[in-house]
A and B are shown apart, each in its own frame.
Chain A
Amino acid sequence: MRAFELESVEAIDQAVSHRRVHDGEAFIAGGTTLLDLVKLDVMQPEKVVDVTRLPLKRIETLEDGRLKIGALVSNTELAKHEIVLRDYPVLSEALLSGASTGLRNMASTGGNVMQRTRCPYFRDPDMPCNKREPGTGCSALDGINRNHAVLGTSEHCIATHPSDMCVGMVAAGATLVLEGPDGQREVAFEDYHLLPGDHPEREHDLKPGELITHVILDTPRGGGQHYLKLRDRASYEFALASCAAIVSLDGDNVSEVRVALGGVATKPWRATAAEEALKGQPATQENFERAADAAFTDAVAYSHNGYKITLGKQAIARALRDATARARA
């Protein structure tokens, strides 16, 4: 592990002004991604700015009913928060399905949004990877891609976004608050992460010097909610396919529905085609499966990950079924 300079900041403007000065700087909160990647020599910051003393640890309900979450709220705290448990259970379930207790205690809300892919070729500096070193090629395209994406891929990158939390947030609906040298701005959560396209090295809409300060969840959608994560083993593994579903019913018909996917896409994936296919329709298994099919219409399978199309559809159908059962309860 290479040496880097570590500086602690006390105020947000101090934090963002720092990053304006130098490239090669990184913020650190829980460090569960950054330190991992520094040890692997995948990230090589010269300076690390410790933001853990910033006043971003609160969860508060705004006047309009939305929930404002400080970027330093830990994954554990967020998952166990009474308002999240009551109004955003899909997010709580998503958080608790990820990593381990120890990691969730360290990991922050903002850091989770900034999680980087688990593609093994990305995580090995000796291997070609367009995301890590643009122009070197994508090792996963012809290599082992069992864990890789079938949605949102490009000929330059097929790495999945690893987060569970982000999938829950896409389903719940959220806005990111970013603080930068030029002031504050807000970005819709769904628009924040970028598709790899021709530039897989560009992963998100964060400008130089900017810091995520808050995530604001939309006003609660009610309905029945469920996060289903499918993987090889029962715990401590990234999703092979996951689905966050929120279903509201009007009698036997689905009046509102949100579907988001993890493990199958290059970013936290809102499955709008599935939502459109189901909205207004009777809440039946047949319609859940039809919605699931719609979500994967544009899926592209590679040599080892074709099963994810089936598995992803199964995740949707089952999550919708169970969310619907909760809506009826």
Chain B
Amino acid sequence: MTTDTGKTREYNLSAEKPRIDGTLKLTGGADYAADRNLPNQTYGYPVTSTITSGKLVSLELDEALAMPGVLDIFHHDNFDQLSRSPNSFADENLTSEPRLPFEDNEIHYQGQYIALVVADTLNHARAAAMKVKANYERSDEFLTDIKALDRGEGELPGEEQPGDASSIGDADSAFESASVKLDHRYSIAQENHSVMEMHASVAQWENDMLTIYESSQGVVFQRNALSKIFGIPPEKVTVISHFIGSGFGSKLFMWPHAIMTAVAARRLGRPVKTVLSRTQEYLATGYRPTSLQRVRLGADDSGKLLSIHHDGCNESSPAGKHDDTVSGATPKMYDCGGNAAVTNRLVTVNKCPPCPMRAPGEASGNFALETAMDELAVKLEMDPLALRKKNFAAADPTSDLPWSSNHLKECWDDAASRFGWDKRNPTPGAMQDGDEIIGYGMATQSWEAMRQHCSARFGFRADGSLLVACGTQDIGTGTYTIVAQTASELTGIPIEMVDVRLGDSQLPSGPLSGGSMATSTVLPAVSAAFDEALSQLKSLATAEGGVFENADPDTIEIQSGKLVQGDRSVEITQLLADNQLGLIDGEASAQPGDEQNQYSFRSFGAVFVEVRWDPGISRLRVARVVSTIDIGRAINPMTARNQVEGGIVMGIGMGMFEQAEFDQNGYPYNNNLADYILPVNADMPKVEVDLLDYPDYRHNAFGARGVGEIGLTGVAAAISNAVYNATGKRIRDMPISIEKLLSA
């Protein structure tokens, strides 16, 4: 196996291609986890805590055990002894909730699993689960609302995380002496991932080998974690996730339902399928934590930033720590005179552990920063776009490293021009159309460009098709398609002939589908594996008796499925046939190299929003969104734009609708899709996304920096800024609900 550290060449690959798995998805041929049905299969249904905090004293199971079809009920008193996963990101065995299911009788949150009913059908399992009676010792000490702790000024509540604090220059002094100062608090309510495909596990043991079908953004992580938890070698665990109906971060790291399903399958000696309900998903598979934030900006009278302070605070859980580090990216956003200081704090709440949710940290932090920038522009009577341009960071302010590639200025100008920003009247309420007042707002978008280690296999088959395999996943973003595009481009073999295998922990180890890093991580490994396979083909061709006997391999090229040397060529299928081979394949890996110490890698963009506010009926709608993004090279601009559009939809949810609510008893009030308000089709404005095309070959040989998260960042701020332009009301707490608009 060879290892490619990156930038040995520059590929010029970009094409609009529909998803190669589109037909499978539209015809029901895509095998999602819950679609899996195994012989002799049984069904698990969790029983969950209905108290917020306390102890489980006892379970009354007799009535449930007597229900039709019930096979067994698993709980604290009869569960297998397991070990916790070491929960290391570096060792790729991180789980979302380190606490094992039924580990003790402590209740940390509503929705915590207290038993798993297994029956012959889903309906029987669910009916019996409703008959399990739990006796609790309730604790009056609990917290579900971190805002209740906030004094509204000064330090944020919670425990400061020393690892999150960073600073450059002397932000305190610069702020003190600044002629223009701004100090405001912001918050974003808890958002649920609301994945389209429910979390599901189907577990089967064959002898001492566990196979688990899971809707997972990280089959390798889950394989490794299960290995540690069950104390069996990783080779004996297989995690399969061929298709994922979105994850948004909630499926990155395994949740307890997979563990209890695997235990039940082992104990019963039969496969067990557990599909969570929407309510269970909302209560036990993470969320974007509520964040409280404080931003202080210091500037001179011309609008030059002199300092940025950004303090964040987010929810964490007694069942598992999660730090969203909402302020982490802030110092990289603008040239702030070399003076920035950021901190982050955690408050433990009685909810399941939060987890990453699309653009974790930055989507929240960027909202606060970009709203504060708008407020500063108002204070300075300056155009918000001009203010940002004035503070453009020509290099990464935190390291002074040059950007690998940064076209933010063009993003600002392109989006502003397409939007018609020059027609904006800065006076709130000045732009009217019938009953409606029009507001314009904008924000800068950003997301770090990351890349990880990755392995892949590339094969030429005797029938002329290609096999490309990697233990990463396609979470609906189009990974299958860009891998197929790459294989097709590298070989000249049509994309229809490319068989891409993903979502299986037995394949060469691939990355999490998260952090917008799958493209930049996987494609270099695919090309390295291709090189390996090609070199084997060349060896065959140049070997004694081969078609290009004794030729210099470097003089041989691959074109349209043929090996070509000078005016001679041979079909690869012929080469394989001549050698009586069914498959020639190569495995290789790729990883980032020294460039990580030479450049700062980050994508930027700009988003402009038009809102329409009808004060007569308190109706706010987003009417138009224009975004221009620089993600280096988009391998597939069609699916890449789709990612940005999806991020914008999610941003509309964050800005206008989404908030998980808990009442004074910690009761999760809107724990379902009817009451948790997500944007629907009718809320969708005209969305125009433009991607610049400046390949970032410093990042990898394909020039791609990834696109999954950046589209979401900035949207909530742009909405809130547009609402100010329309109404003169500054809403600093997301979402901007009707009552907030009425009371502001």
The answer to the question of A5 belonging to the interface, with a C-beta cut-off of 8 Å to chain B, is: no
Closest residue of chain B to A143 (Cβ to Cβ) is B663
Within 8 A of B (CB), among A195-241: 228, 230, 232-237, 240
Interface assignment of B738: CB less than 8 Å from any CB of chain A: yes
CB-based contact B742/A307 at 8 Å: yes
Q: Is there a chain B Cβ closer than 8 Å to A144's Cβ?
A: yes
Asked whether, in the complex, the Cβ of B50 is within 8 Å of the Cβ of A126, the reply is yes
Contacting residues of chain A (1-35) with chain B, CB-CB under 8 angstroms:
1-3
Q: When the two chains form their complex, are residues A311 and B742 in contact, meaning their CB atoms are under 8 A apart?
A: yes
Answer yes or no: A127 CB below 8 A from chain B CBs: yes
| Contact (Cβ within 8 A) A311 B618 | yes
Count of A-B residue pairs with CB < 8 Å: 81
Could you say which of B361-369, B436-444, B471-479, B665-673 contacts chain A?
A: B665-673
| Main DSSP-derived SS at the B contact region | loop
Contact of A234 among B616, B663, B675, B682 (CB under 8 A): B682
Interface flags for B676-694 (1: CB within 8 Å of A; 0: not) read 0111111100000000000
Q: Is B148 an interface residue (CB 8 A)?
A: no
Which residues in A have their C-beta under 8 angstroms from that of B127?
1-3
* Contact of B230 with A by CB under 8 A: no
Check B36 for interface membership: any CB of A closer than 8 A. Answer: no
- How far, in angstroms, from A3 to B682 measured CA to CA in the complex? 37
Inter-subunit contact A235/B616 (CB<8 Å): no
Residue of A3, A144, A230, A310 touching B619 (CB-CB under 8 A): A230
Q: How many residues of B contact A (CB 8 A)?
A: 36
Cβ of A257 to closest chain B Cβ, rounded Å: 19
Q: How far is the CB of A136 from chain B (nearest CB, A)?
A: 14
Separation of A146 and B657 alpha carbons in the complex (Å): 14
- Partner of A144 from the list B123, B656, B663 (CB cut-off 8 Å) is B663
Stretch from A54-62, A73-81, A179-187, A312-320 contacting the other chain: A312-320
Verify B670–A120 contact, CB threshold 8 A. Answer: yes
How far, in Å, is A302 (CB) from chain B's closest CB?
12
Q: How far is the CB of A121 from chain B (nearest CB, A)?
A: 8
Partner of A233, one of B130, B617, B664, B677: B677
- A237–B677 contact, CB under 8 A? yes
Produce 1/0 per residue, B517-533, CB < 8 A to A: 00000000000000000
A315 contacts which chain B residues (CB < 8 A)? 617
In the complex, B737 has a CB within 8 A of chain A: yes
B663 touches A307 (CB 8 A): no
Contact A233 B743 (CB under 8 A): no
State whether the Cβ of B567 lies closer than 8 Å to any Cβ in chain A.
Answer: no
For residue B389, CB closer than 8 A to chain A, the reply is: no
A144 to B130, CA, bound (A): 25
Query: Within the assembled complex, what's the spacing in Å between the Cα atoms of A224 and B669?
Result: 40
Given contacts A120-B675, A234-B682, A236-B682, contact A228 B738 (CB under 8 A): no
B617 with A314: CB separation less than 8 A: yes
Does B682 lie within 8 Å of A235, measured CB to CB?
yes
Residues on A with C-beta less than 8 A from B68 are 3
Is the beta-carbon distance between B50 and A234 smaller than 8 angstroms?
Answer: no
Per the bound structure, the CA–CA distance linking A317 and B617 in Å amounts to: 9
Determine the distance from Cα of A142 to Cα of B661 in the docked complex, in whole angstroms. 14
Task: Please give, as numbers and ranges, the residues of chain B lying within 8 Å of A146 by CB-CB distance.
Answer: 739
Among all A-B residue pairs, the 9 with the closest Cβ atoms? A235-B682, A234-B682, A307-B739, A143-B663, A144-B669, A126-B50, A144-B663, A234-B683, A314-B617
Chain B residues at the A interface, C-beta cutoff of 8 Å: 50, 68, 123, 126-127, 130, 616-619, 621, 656-657, 661, 663-665, 667, 669-672, 674-675, 677-683, 737-739, 742-743
